[in-house]
Structure 1
Amino acid sequence: MTRKSSFAPVVAPETRVLVLGSLPGERSLAEGRYYAHPQNRFWRLVGDVIGQDLEALAYAARLQSLLHAGIGLWDTVASATRKGSLDAAIREAEHNPLADLVATLPELRAVAFNGATSARIGRALLADSPLALLPLPSSSPAYAAMPYAGKLRLWRAIGEFLV
C-alpha cells in the first residue's frame, strides 16, 4: 500500500481560524486540491458561514476567498497508508507539526477540526495551546448521520472567531 500525504497548508498572516481535516481523500489527492469530492459539503458549509457561494468559484478563487475571510486549511495527518478514503482505514500515520504552524500565525484565534479523527489527533497535538479548539461534524459524504442543517448549525461557530 502506498503512502498518501497531505497538501501544504493554506494560510496567511491574517488567518484567524485554521480548519483541519485528517488526510485528503482519493479524489482530492487525484485532483491535488482540498475537498475535491463533489459530495463533500466543506465548500458549501464554509461558504454559508462566510456568506459567499464558494461552490460557484474556481478552486484558486475559493482558496483566496477563504484567506480573505481569515480561514486557513491544513490536515492533522502528514502522511499515512490508507486504502480508500475513510479515516478508519488510516494506518501508520505521521502527524503534521501543528504547533509549529500555529506559532507562525499571529492572528489565529481558533482551530476547527473537520471530523472526529481530525479532532482526536489535533487536540492531542495542540493540548497546550490557548486557542479555542472546535470539534465539528465531518463535511464528508461518509458522515451521513447528521443532515446538512445540523452540520451548518455547528459549523457556524467558526464565524465568531472571524470578526
Structure 2
Amino acid sequence: MSTVRSFPPIADPSARTLILGSMPGVQSLAANRYYAHPRNAFWPIMAALLGFDIESTYERRAQALTQSGFALWDVLEACVRPGSLDSAIQTGSRVANDFQTFFARHPALERVCFNGAEAERSFRVFALPGLEVPALRFVRLPSTSPAYTLPFQQKLAAWRAGLIDPR
C-alpha cells in the first residue's frame, strides 16, 4: 500500500470558517480536486447554501467558497489508505497538516467545521495536541460522503444550521 497525500488548502487570508475533511478519496485524488466523487454531497450542499450554480467550473465553485469566507482543507496531510473509506486508514499512518502555520496565516478564523466524525477525531487526536489554537468554535457536521447514508435534505439542513445559522 502506498501513502496518499492531501491537497493544499483552498483559502483566502480573510477566511472566517475552515471546513475540514479527513483525506480526499480515490476519485478526488485522481481528479486533483476536493470532493470529486459525483455522489458526494459537498458541492451540492455548498451550492444550495451559497447560491452558486452547481454546474460551475471547479475553479468558480472554489472562488464562491473563498468569497463567502470559507476555507477548505483536510486534517491529514498523508496516510496509508487503500480505497476511499476513512475506516480503511491504516493505524499509525496518519500525519496531520500544519495547522499552526495555517492558523497564523488566517487570523480571521472564528470556527472550524468538520465534514464528518473521522475529520473531527483525526483533528482532535493528531493535530490538536500541542497546537496553539486561537479562540475557535468547533462544529461537527454530517459527512457529505455517499458512504454516509443520511438523506441529502437532512445533510443540507445540518450544514445550514452549522455554517449559515450558527447558534
TM more than 0.5: yes
Residues of 1 paired with 2:163 and 2:120: CA distance? 15
Q: 1:110 touches 1:131 (CA, 8 Å); kept in 2?
A: yes
Residues of 2 paired with 1:72 and 1:110: CA distance? 11
Show the counterpart of 1:115.
Answer: 116
Show the counterpart of 1:88.
Answer: 87
Q: Which runs of 5+ in 2 are unaligned?
A: none
Deviations 1:62-88 (A, max 9, x none): 111111111111000110111100000
TM-score by length of 2: 0.89
Show the counterpart of 1:131.
Answer: 136
Q: 2:113 touches 2:141 (CA, 8 Å); kept in 1?
A: yes
Q: 2:52 touches 2:61 (CA, 8 Å); kept in 1?
A: no
Show the counterpart of 2:46.
Answer: 46
**For 1:103, what is the secondary structure of its paired residue?**
helix
**For 2:94, what is the secondary structure of its paired residue?**
strand
Q: 1:14 touches 1:108 (CA, 8 Å); kept in 2?
A: yes
Q: 2:18 touches 2:73 (CA, 8 Å); kept in 1?
A: yes
Moved more, 81-90 or 43-52: 43-52
Q: 1:28 touches 1:37 (CA, 8 Å); kept in 2?
A: yes
Q: Which runs of 5+ in 1 are unaligned?
A: none
Residues of 1 paired with 2:47 and 2:108: CA distance? 21
Query: Mapping of 1:21-100 within 5 angstroms?
Result: 21-53=21-53, 55-91=54-90, 92-100=93-101
Runs of 4+ in 1 over 6 A off after TM superposition: none
Residues of 2 paired with 1:142 and 1:64: CA distance? 27
Moved more, 58-67 or 125-134: 125-134
Deviations 1:4-62 (A, max 9, x none): 00000111111111110000000000010100000000001112222223x21011111
Q: 2:42 touches 2:144 (CA, 8 Å); kept in 1?
A: yes
Identity of aligned residues (%): 42
1:152 to 2:153 alignment:
no
Q: What amino acid does structure 2 have at the position aligned with 1:132?
A: R
Q: 1:50 touches 1:159 (CA, 8 Å); kept in 2?
A: no
1:104 to 2:117 alignment:
no
Residues of 1 paired with 2:118 and 2:100: CA distance? 17
**For 1:43, what is the secondary structure of its paired residue?**
helix
Residues of 2 paired with 1:130 and 1:160: CA distance? 19
Q: 1:123 touches 1:133 (CA, 8 Å); kept in 2?
A: no
